[in-house]
Amino acid sequence: MRRGHVSQREVLWVLAWSLVAMILTSLPYALGWALSSPEVEFSGFVYNAVDCNSYVAKMFLGQRGAWLFHNVYTPEAHPGALIFLYHILLGKVAGLTGLSLVVTYHLARLVTIPLLFLAMYAFAAYFTPWVALRRLTLLLSAFAGGFGWLLMLLGQHHWLGSLPLDLILPEGFTFLVIYALPHLALARTLMLIAFLCTLHAFARGRARWAVLGGLASLGMGLIVPFYVLVFDVVLGNYLVALFIRRRKLPWAEVGLALPTVLIPAPLVTYNTWLFSTQPVYREWAVQNAVRSPHPLHYVAGYALVGVLAIGGVVWVLRRHDERWLFPVAWVIVVPPLLYAPFNLQRRLIEGMQVPLALLASVGLARYVLPAFSRSRLVRLLTRNPRYTLSGLRRLAVTAVVLATVPTNVFLLAGNSLELLAHRESPLFHERAEIEANDWLRVHTAPEDIVFCAFQTGNYVPARAGNRVFLGHTPETINAGEKKRIVARFFSADPDAEWRMAILREYGIAYVLVGPRERALGNFRPDAAPYLRQVYDNGRYAIYRVEMSANGGK
């Protein structure tokens, strides 16, 4: 097998493992839907449901005909923007097919799994002709985790101030991507395609490959704009590595890299302008902080694969094959990025698991397995005809792969147990809440702003399509202050003038009152002359804001 060529048999093997991943990651969702009843309905999400509701809300925009994004989780006025195009287009697919938004979301998740697996395998195939090495790279790229499971079992849920990264960082662990986040799966697929096209351009000296790489990078940026930054930095570091190896500037590669950088540049410029000059988007960017935790969390997340990858780096540096410098350049440049002055620090690790897995596979094949084969234990075992050297080596590789997957098992089992134990929001929604949201969807306009508690407000845009006063910590501008306003509003303390001022200031059209709102205090909306009840199912009531003369307008 030559480098870069992938046989039909290999493709079938990759698709088979894709099917395994599709089945495994769908088990908790299948359980959730099986647990639905006339009283409660499964939300469709078991992992990071708050964010997933926001993705469905963005799909709702597309389903209703929008092409530009509007933030439905904050009441402040703002212009539409060309962002979140993936979710808007997915909403249009739902509208054309008649499928529900949640079902469409999961179908997209299932479709992107084989695409990502094929891209990861193709990435490995570009560097090595050895099929076993390609396969090991794919398995480690797709399923490897760290020691998060152990930290959780030891009760160290917030060790050094953070949950384990292999439970919360999809950019760093592919399993989380294929489990819940299809837009990230497609973005990573396009990133790997962009890199492969660029490397082909370098190897063949053909600009058309560079243009294709630039177009793939543009597609990636339309899904997750800051991934273009990761792409450019990794590519730049590879050019630096070529300069160091050759001791002269790689002018040909620099020229061929220009299309891959310049094609998505207008998109990057637009996003930079949008999130730095437009008030609502600027505040959103400021409060959307995803900082890196203590460095030991990265050690815990990548300990086993990282140690094996050290051997791969050593092997690469001893060779004179410039192609292999690329995965090393990618892995080496990431640690500084993780603590760069950027709000989304830890997300800059995007995609690194793939080259890290490739280098770990090399380290295992070139150093660990030969040492294992020469060990006294293997020599003793192979004296028995039942044990062969090749069989023991396969067993060792299997053990390494299995040692990296417990966190994924922990996650699937934990989410499944949570479904069994807690049939409540955000995993499930009671029928009365669904009916109240359905009334809003039918009887109100999408731009009508609904005032309610945080958890209620997180679901309203995804089910009813309305804008809300509060519902998503990063996307709701000044979410902390708005939580305090909501808590005070539903308490018995404020007078009518204060409440009316809040409703007037933020242009609130409806107040939704359910169990969460009543739990905040003893406010009696029925006694408020500026609120008129328009819906009530016994659990949830909806009030239209009417600032009449009697209401104090």
Q: Which residues contact 406 (CB under 8 A, 6 or more apart)?
A: 145, 149, 150
- Predicted confidence at residue 553, as pLDDT, reads 42
The average pLDDT across 205-215 equals 97
Contacts of residue 327, defined as CB under 8 A and 6 or more positions apart, other chains included, come to 127, 312, 316, 355, 356, 358, 359
Are residues 17 and 125 both part of a single domain? yes
Out of 348, 364, 380, pick the residue that ends a domain. 364
Element containing residue 460 per DSSP (H, E): helix 454-463
Distance of alpha carbon 330 from alpha carbon 544, whole angstroms: 55
Check residue 148 and give its pLDDT: 97
pLDDT given for residue 547 in this prediction? 83
434 within a domain of the structure (yes/no): yes
- Within this chain, do residues 472 and 342 fall inside the same structural domain, yes or no? no
The CATH code of the domain that includes 520 is: 3.40.50.12610
Q: Is residue 51 part of a domain?
A: no
Q: How many domains does the chain have?
A: 2
C-alpha distances (whole Å) from 418 to each of 40, 47, 101, 145, 495 are: 15, 11, 24, 21, 41
Q: Cβ–Cβ contacts within 10 Å for residue 542, how many?
A: 25
What's residue 548's pLDDT? 65
State the DSSP H helix or E strand holding residue 509, giving kind and residue range, or none if neither.
strand 508-513
State the pLDDT at residue 494: 80
Instruction: Answer whether 0.85 is exceeded by the pTM.
Output: yes
One-letter-per-residue 3-state SS of 119-178: HHHHHHHHHCCCHHHHHHHHHHHHHCCCCHHHHHHCCCCCHHHCCCHHHHCCCCCHHHHH
Q: How far apart are CA 505 and CA 508, in angstroms?
A: 8
The residues with which 536 forms a beta bridge, in sequence order, are 541
Average pLDDT over residues 35-52: 97
Helical segments of 278-430, H only:
279-287, 295-317, 325-338, 353-363, 369-373, 376-381, 389-403, 406-421
Q: Give a yes or no: residue 58 inside a domain.
A: no
Token pair of 239 as six digits:
């050019």
Indicate whether 348 and 486 sit together in one domain.
no
Same domain, 118 and 231: yes
Q: Sort strands 428-430 and 449-451 into parallel, antiparallel or unpaired.
A: unpaired
DSSP per residue, 306-336: HHHHHHHHHHHHTS--GGGHHHHHHHHHHHH
**Is the alpha carbon torsion for 173, 178, 179, 180 positive or negative?**
positive
Residue 230: which domain range? 8-42+100-364
CA distances from 315 to 97, 234, 287, 319, 372 (A): 51, 20, 43, 7, 17
Tell me: pLDDT of 47 over 80.
Answer: yes
Q: How does pLDDT run across 447-506, given as a tens digit for each residue?
A: 999 999 999 999 999 999 999 999 999 999 999 999 999 999 999 888 899 999 999 999
Residue 549, pLDDT > 50, answer no
Distance CA(440)–CA(435), nearest Å, equals: 9
Beta-bridged to residue 451, according to DSSP, are: 511
The whole-number pLDDT of residue 4 equals: 80
- CA distance linking residue 337 with residue 412, whole number of Å: 30
Are residues 505 and 449 in contact, defined by beta-carbon separation less than 8 angstroms?
Answer: no
Pairing outcome for strands 508-513 and 541-545? antiparallel
Which amino acid, residue 354? V
pLDDT of 395 reads 96
pLDDT value at residue 552: 47
In a domain, 552, yes or no: no
Distances in Å between the Cα of 528 and the Cα atoms of 61, 499, 500, 524 are 33, 10, 10, 7
Tell me, yes or no, whether 77 lies in a domain: no
Element spanning 535, H or E:
strand 531-536
| Tens-digit pLDDT profile for residues 394-450 | 999 999 999 999 999 999 999 999 999 999 999 999 999 999 999 999 999 999 999
Residue 177 lies in a domain: yes
Asked if residue 229 and residue 339 are part of one domain, the reply reads yes
Mean pLDDT of the chain: 97
Residue 544, beta-bridge partner list:
510, 532
Q: Sort residue 459 into left (φ over 0), alpha (ψ -120 to 50) or beta.
A: alpha
The first and second tokens of residue 208, run together, are 């058309």
In this predicted model, what pLDDT tens digit does every residue of 65-85 receive, in sequence order? 999 999 999 999 999 999 999
515-535: buried (b, 16+ CB within 10 Å) or exposed (e) per residue? ebbeeeeebebeebebbeeeb
Residues 359 and 437 in one domain: no
Residue 551 has pLDDT above 50, yes or no: no
Confidence at residue 257, expressed as pLDDT on a 0 to 100 scale: 98
Residue 421 belongs to a domain: no
Q: Is 112 found in the same domain as 252?
A: yes
pLDDT at 55 over 80: yes
**What values do phi and psi take at 511, rounded to 5?**
-115, 125
- The residue out of 316, 337, 364 marking a domain boundary is 364
Q: What is the pLDDT of residue 2?
A: 78
Residue 102 banded pLDDT, cuts 50, 70, 90: very high
Token reading at 281: 């988007």
| Other beta carbons within 10 Å of 254 | 14
The mean pLDDT value for 135-161 works out to 97
25 and 172 within one domain: yes
Domain boundary among 322, 338, 364: 364
The mean per-residue pLDDT over the stretch 327-341 comes to 97
Cis peptide upstream of residue 426 (ω within 30 degrees of 0): yes
Residue 546's pLDDT is: 95
Q: Do residues 292 and 194 both lie within one domain?
A: yes
Fill in the DSSP letter of residue 492: S
Rounded distance between C-alpha atoms, residue 10 and residue 17, angstroms: 11
